[in-house]
Amino acid sequence: MSDIILTTLNGRYTHSSLGLRYLHANLKELQPQALIKEYVINEKIQDIAEDILKENPKIIAIGVYIWNASDVKELIEVLKKVSPQTIIILGGPEVSYQPFRVDMSKADYVIQGEGEIPFYELCRDILDKKQIETKIFPPKLYDLKDIKLPYQYYDENDIKNRYIYVEASRGCPFSCEFCLSSIDKQVRNFNLDELLQEFQTLWDKGVRNFKFIDRTFNLDIKMANTLLDFFLSKNEPFTTHFEVIPDHFPAELKERIKQFPSHSLQLEIGIQTLKKDIAKNIKRNLNIPKIKENLEFLEKETNAHIHLDLIIGLPGESVESFRENLDYLCGLSNSEIQLGVLKKLSGTTLNRHDELFGMVYSDTPPYDILANNMIPFQEMQVMKRFARFWDLVYNSGNFTKTFNLLVENKSVYETFYHFSDWLYRQTFSTWQISLDRLALFLFDYMTTIQQYEKQQIADLLVSDILKVGGRKLPSFLREYSEITSSFDKVQVGTKQKRQQKRTQ
């Protein structure tokens, strides 16, 4: 039995909650009374409630995020109906800023912002039966020296099956209006010596995949270089992931990045837009010459896996300007390009654009844009489908050679727009499209609409599909392939990671 249950619903089983582990690490004398229990969205809410209440907790703390807010609302309602005496405390980004777009009124307390210290104090007061004067604890920044690091609370199951999230700093100095990180402009670094000791402990336990959640990893170059040196000192394969700003790669940082072997370094770079007037609208820095220079360096001189972000629906940006962004970016890089749809999060200042640009958003998570005065609702729907199919075909790395021919000597945006529209008319869905079925759609489109020779497209698809060991060739391709059915029995290797597929 545990008096305090720390829980959340992750997006996938392979995800882990760093926030819950921070709370657990900072519970001081209450720690023996606490237990972490993680679930996944789309699990049955009543089953989750049953499992939590088996511990007969006095306090249930729930991390609330954009992807689980609706499920958490339902979970709170079930818990309060069957165990009304149990105290429910909420925290996390989705309840850290008002207005609350999902009704969480049945919860007893809400801790906004950094929760490590106020959560301990609140639990202590509840268990001591002290009178508590407020329901909502407003955000407050704490000295990171007072926060105990949580990494020892990743257990063997986490290390074996889940992503291990870490951080070296909090805050972001920039003012991008769509991003919650811009609210905390004071960048604070954790003690680097202590952090490296914790990372070494994780390494010794077998962690080989470190996913940093810092918003601007390459802001503090001294810190970035020290952390990169930590990984470069290792002799075993690993992967590490950082979010970086695109215009700040001084020489000493470049030299270190060049030393990383293939498949070991992943860099997520927020481009968002390449239009200066749009960037100005959302208070985003934009240095196109530097972006171009740094992308060319990363593409040509390093083994880093690059993930670039563009946003659909920014205030003042039309479909035409987005087309120019995508075509330009594809001309600079062969890297993964994530096409995100603009979301209006509580706490951001995007609402100042609503009247001028006719911005209309959904009121339910993920609060994505529905329309603006340059992209009507119907066209925005088309763009969302475009983004989904782009992820399936291009970003997945499953069809690299086939995609290159699909868009060869053409506007990438226009070509894929027509394919995306055609594909939706075949499926009327953007989900549950298997790899084999998607291969067949590409084959049909490129041989009928684009009028390529069937054997040419079949050869490309066979090459793309069989680059991952253990895959079976779709039946429709077998008549075009010289590979006999014996290939089904050949196991070349395990399924390769997404970034590996893009390099083959």
- Does 21 have pLDDT greater than 60? yes
- The pLDDT value given to residue 395: 96
Looking at residue 448, its pLDDT comes to 98
Share of the chain above pLDDT 90, in %: 86
Question: What's the pLDDT tens digit per position in 171-200?
Answer: 888 878 888 776 766 889 999 999 999 999
CA angle in degrees (0–180, nearest 5) for 162-269-498:
45
Give the domain CATH number at 309.
Answer: 3.80.30.20
**Which of the listed residues 338, 353, 375 is the one where a domain comes to its end?**
375
Task: Evaluate if residue 495 carries a pLDDT over 60.
Answer: no
pLDDT band at 170 (very low <50, low <70, confident <90, very high): very high
Whether residue 43 lies inside any domain: the answer is yes
Domain boundary among 375, 402, 437: 375
pLDDT in tens, 326-371: 999 999 999 999 999 999 999 888 989 999 999 999 999 999 999 9
Torsion sign, CA atoms 6, 37, 146, 129: positive
Interval 238-250 mean pLDDT: 94
Compute the mean pLDDT over every residue in the chain, rounded to the nearest whole number: 93
Q: Are the C-beta atoms of 113 and 181 separated by less than 8 Å?
A: no
- Let me know if residue 158 belongs to a domain: no
Is 230 in the same domain as 328?
Answer: yes
Predicted TM-score of the model (pTM): 0.91
Report yes or no on 151 lying in a domain. no
One domain for residues 123 and 170: no
CA–CA separation, 68 and 376 (whole Å):
28
Are residues 177 and 43 both part of a single domain? no
Q: Is the pLDDT of residue 105 over 50?
A: yes
- The answer to whether position 148 is within a domain reads no
Mean pLDDT over 374-382 rounds to: 97
67 and 197 in a single domain? The answer is no
pLDDT of amino acid 493: 36
> Do 92 and 231 have their domain in common?
no
Res 267: pLDDT: 97
Helix (H, G, I), strand (E, B) or coil at 306: strand
Interval 391-403 mean pLDDT: 97
Is 155 among the domain residues? Answer: no
Same domain, 130 and 238: no
What's the CATH code of the domain at 64? 3.40.50.280
Is pLDDT of 486 > 50? no
Distance CA 284, CA 269 (A): 14
Q: Which domain holds residue 444?
A: 376-504
210 and 67 belong to one structural domain: no
pLDDT digits (tens, 9 = 90+) for 45-78: 999 999 999 999 999 999 999 999 999 999 999 9
- Residue 381 shares a structural domain with residue 241: no
The answer to whether residue 153 is domain-embedded is no
Residue 469 has pLDDT above 90, yes or no: no
**Predicted local confidence at residue 435, as pLDDT:** 95
In a domain, 154, yes or no: no
Same domain, 259 and 217: yes
Residue 149 lies in a domain: no
What percent of the chain lies above the pLDDT cut of 70? 95
Q: What is residue 268's DSSP assignment?
A: E
Mean per-residue pLDDT, 410-437: 96
pLDDT grade for 481, boundaries at 50, 70 and 90: confident
- The domain tally of the chain equals 3
Q: Are residues 190 and 231 in the same domain?
A: yes
Residue 496's pLDDT band, with cuts at 50, 70 and 90, is very low
Among the three residues 342, 375, 408, which one is the final residue of a domain in this structure? Answer: 375
> Contacts from 368-374 at CB under 8 Å and sequence distance 24+?
368/313, 368/341, 368/342, 368/343, 369/312, 369/313, 369/341, 369/342, 369/343, 369/344, 372/313, 372/315, 374/316, 374/317, 374/318, 374/319
Pair (349, 382) in one structural domain: no
Decide which of 1 and 22 is more confident.
22
Listed as own residue / partner, the contacts of 460-468 with beta carbons closer than 8 Å and 24 or more positions apart are 460/401, 460/402, 460/405, 461/399, 461/402, 463/401, 464/398, 464/399, 464/400, 464/401, 464/402, 465/398, 465/435, 465/439, 467/496, 467/501, 467/504, 468/398, 468/492, 468/495, 468/496, 468/501
| Residues 368 and 391 grouped into a single domain | no
- Residue 243: its pLDDT value, please? 95
